[in-house]
Structure 1
Amino acid sequence: MLYGIAAASAALLLTAVLAALLRVPALRAGILDRRRQRPLPVLGGVAVVAVTCLVAWAGEWTKVAPLGDGVGELLVAGAAVALLGLVADVWRLRARVLVAGTAVAAACVVPYDETGFWGGILAIGWIVFASLAFKGLDHADGLAGTVGVITAFGAGAVAAAEVMDGLAVLLSVFAAALTGFLMHNWHPARVGLGASGSLFTGFLLSSAAVFTRAGYALGPTTGVLFCLGAVAAADFLLVLLARSTARRPLLRRGPDHLAHRLRRLGLTPQGAVVLLGAASFSAVLVGVLVHTGWTGEGAVLWVAGGVLFAALVLFRVPVQLPQPRRRDTSTQVRGQLRVRNG
């Protein structure tokens, strides 16, 4: 107990300091998210990943808080996904590369002896989906971090209920690291998660949830996992509806996510994040209660109905999509005349 508190405190402080220190190198190196209203350095995710791994492995090395079977491999795979995301932050990898890399990492951590082969395939699909969905949540200041902290505490509670102490400590350390990062990411953000931090967040949380539910029946497990990732699922469903009807690429970023539409309704940036954080807390609480048996599985239907209702309502909110670039016809004509006269 005392080690958990000390580890979480150290993770919070170290991440807050490291995220601040990495901001200037990110600006100088041009590792920025230029698709927002202002260029935002995105090495905050590196701080979260580095501190989480450092503190977790310190507990493993000192034998004070062993990670447990499979948890160390999960952390290594998550770090590999974060490294892939960092490459994407620097060189802009194609989406299919991120999907393939995340799937390979997920395939390495799924406990097939408890899930079975087909259950393992479904688990891989869930981990890939959750990782990309959390990457999509990184569209507004503070949103991915806030939802990540809430989900980490929920997944940690489920792990504690399963007496997976090492995994519970890891999730508490991760939640603390995200909280330290949020000190610099609350609107107006000074540093962002980037693909590195957002993919790591989704991968670690979804993999941890799979670990805690391995061996349970598929139906209840699906419900619990859905509750833990309800806000990310709602955002994905909303984007899927909007871009399918508009015939736009699904994995290309645009101002049509949850927080964007809530702001069009008049909410402030902070208000939109608080509202979505409250929704995440409610859904995660239902998931924890269903897992521990404090409420029936039917409560998941209320969460699913809320996700569907929110997606359909916000789908009706108009957004201003970026216009495709048009070539300057006058410049093109002058170029053709020069070629002809030449």
Structure 2
Amino acid sequence: MIMYLLMGLTAAVVSYGATWGARVVGNRLELHMPIRSRDMHSTPVSRLGGVAIFLGVLVALIVASQSFFVKDIYRHNFSPWGVLAGATLIVLVGVADDLLDIRWWVKLIGQSAAALVVAIWGVRMTIVPWVPEPIFLENEMIRIVLTAGLIVTTMNAFNFIDGLDGLAAGVAIIGGTAFFFTAYWVHRNAVLLDYSDLATLLMAVVVGSCIGFLPHNWFPSKIFMGDSGAMLIGLLFAAAGIVSTGQITSGLYDRANGISTVIPILLPFAVLFLPLLDLGLAVVRRTARGRSPWSADRGHLHHKLLDIGYSHRTAVILMYLWTAVLSFGGLAFAVFPWQPVLAADIFATLLMGLVTAWPYLRRGSDEPVA
């Protein structure tokens, strides 16, 4: 645990300092996009925050390769470097989009290229979790295509949710922390000669980098992570999820209260539920209007919270709470018997639903009766 926390701290310190530098460079060179109608800010803000987050991840992963315990992850294993190569490519694509506003299909090509780099040289899906038995993927081409598709989907999900100050970074911190504890817990409770784990390390460094970035990004934001940061976080989350999914048959999840095949499915989707829901709703909404699924609009979940009366900060905190309920609710399945966990999760979800809809319900109750 200590080494993972040290790697997370390294990422946080580097990211915090690098964000200062990105703010100075971005403001002096005016490296920001014109304000758009859907934007929630009224003054130009630098969008180079993703570069700072990436530097935190980069330095932490390089330090980890030479550090006690976690360096075992790199032994005879090119996967960490493959993930880092894909991360480097997606940050370059994101910076180009943040500064030049490239066409959606050009960005999609870039996302696909980065995802393929990870799928070919980094991590790859070998198993599709299913109940009662997982499905093994024998064909290498199918493995690569499914891996790349999952990574692209997750990148866009995080990119879509990045619409309010501090939202994407905070969601990544909360969800990544739950993911980190789950990956760490199953390894410490299994009979292994080597407890080091790539998924745990990736979550430690991405959470650390987002912690270092968030003070600069909290409302009112002084810098944005941009597409480069949001897509980077999505890529790292997807890579960690793929690593965890591939460990289903290793015996690591056999202690998870008899639901070994469910935990790898549940937690990544619980952590990413809000971004994936927002992505799905956006695709349906835009397609129904005859527009490209990648065209921007002001119809995301966080926009809806603002529309029903929540302030900027309150809407972000509400999204944080939803993420905590979903992600730590998923984590609880790995630690406690599933029956009380399911009951507690249902209660928490209903309570959060009531809290979320309260301004709308109160407005309806205030209307005079005819």
Q: What's the TM-score, normalizing by structure 2?
A: 0.74
Give 1:183's aligned residue: 215
Task: Work out the CA distance in 1 between the residues paired with 2:146 and 2:6.
Answer: 37
Whether 2:141 is the aligned partner of 1:122: answer no
Give 2:197's aligned residue: 165
Q: 1:135 aligns with which of 128, 142, 159?
A: 159
Task: Work out the CA distance in 2 between the residues paired with 1:219 and 1:171.
Answer: 20
Give 2:60's aligned residue: 55
Q: 2:288 aligns with which of 245, 263, 270?
A: 245
**Contact kept? 1:158, 1:212, Cα under 8 Å:** no
Give 1:269's aligned residue: 312
Q: Secondary structure at the match of 2:293?
A: coil
Q: 1:233 aligns with which of 276, 281, 305?
A: 276
**Contact kept? 1:155, 1:205, Cα under 8 Å:** no
- 1:1-342 alignment to 2 at 5 Å? 1-33=1-33, 34-35=35-36, 36=39, 37=41, 38-63=43-68, 65-66=70-71, 67-68=73-74, 69=77, 70-106=79-115, 107-108=119-120, 109-113=122-126, 116=137, 117=139, 118=142, 120-160=144-184, 161-162=186-187, 163-216=195-248, 221-290=264-333, 294-295=337-338
Give 2:363's aligned residue: none
Give the total of aligned pairs: 310
Distance change (3 Å), C-alpha of 1:221 and 1:120: farther
1:250 partner letter: P
Residues 214-223 or 140-149, more deviating = 214-223
**Contact kept? 1:43, 1:191, Cα under 8 Å:** yes
1:139 partner letter: G
Structure 1 gaps of 5+ residues are 318-342
Q: Secondary structure at the match of 2:295?
A: coil
Task: Work out the CA distance in 2 between the residues paired with 1:101 and 1:233.
Answer: 20
Deviation of the 1:83 alpha carbon: 1.7
**Contact kept? 1:224, 1:291, Cα under 8 Å:** no
Deviations 1:91-147 (A, max 9, x none): 222222322332333232332555623455333222111101101111111111011
Task: Work out the CA distance in 1 between the residues paired with 2:247 and 2:11.
Answer: 32
Task: Work out the CA distance in 1 between the residues paired with 2:296 and 2:27.
Answer: 22
Q: Secondary structure at the match of 1:61?
A: coil
Task: Work out the CA distance in 1 between the residues paired with 2:232 and 2:295.
Answer: 20
Residues 17-26 or 155-164, more deviating = 155-164
Coordinate RMSD, CA, aligned:
3.1
Deviation of the 1:293 alpha carbon: 7.3
Give 2:190's aligned residue: none
Deviation of the 1:64 alpha carbon: 5.2
Deviations 1:283-313 (A, max 9, x none): 11233334567427x959x78xx79x98xx9
Instruction: Write out the 4+ residue segments of structure 1 that deviate beyond 6 Å after TM superposition.
Output: 217-220
Task: Work out the CA distance in 2 between the residues paired with 1:92 and 1:218.
Answer: 42
Deviation of the 1:71 alpha carbon: 2.5
Deviation of the 1:63 alpha carbon: 4.8
Give 1:330's aligned residue: none
Write 1 or 2 for the structure with the bigger share of helix. Answer: 1
Distance change (3 Å), C-alpha of 1:85 and 1:299: farther
Task: Work out the CA distance in 2 between the residues paired with 1:83 and 1:251.
Answer: 19
Q: Secondary structure at the match of 1:251?
A: coil
Deviations 1:261-300 (A, max 9, x none): 101111111111111111111111233334567427x959
Deviation of the 1:243 alpha carbon: 2.1
Q: What's the TM-score, normalizing by structure 1?
A: 0.80
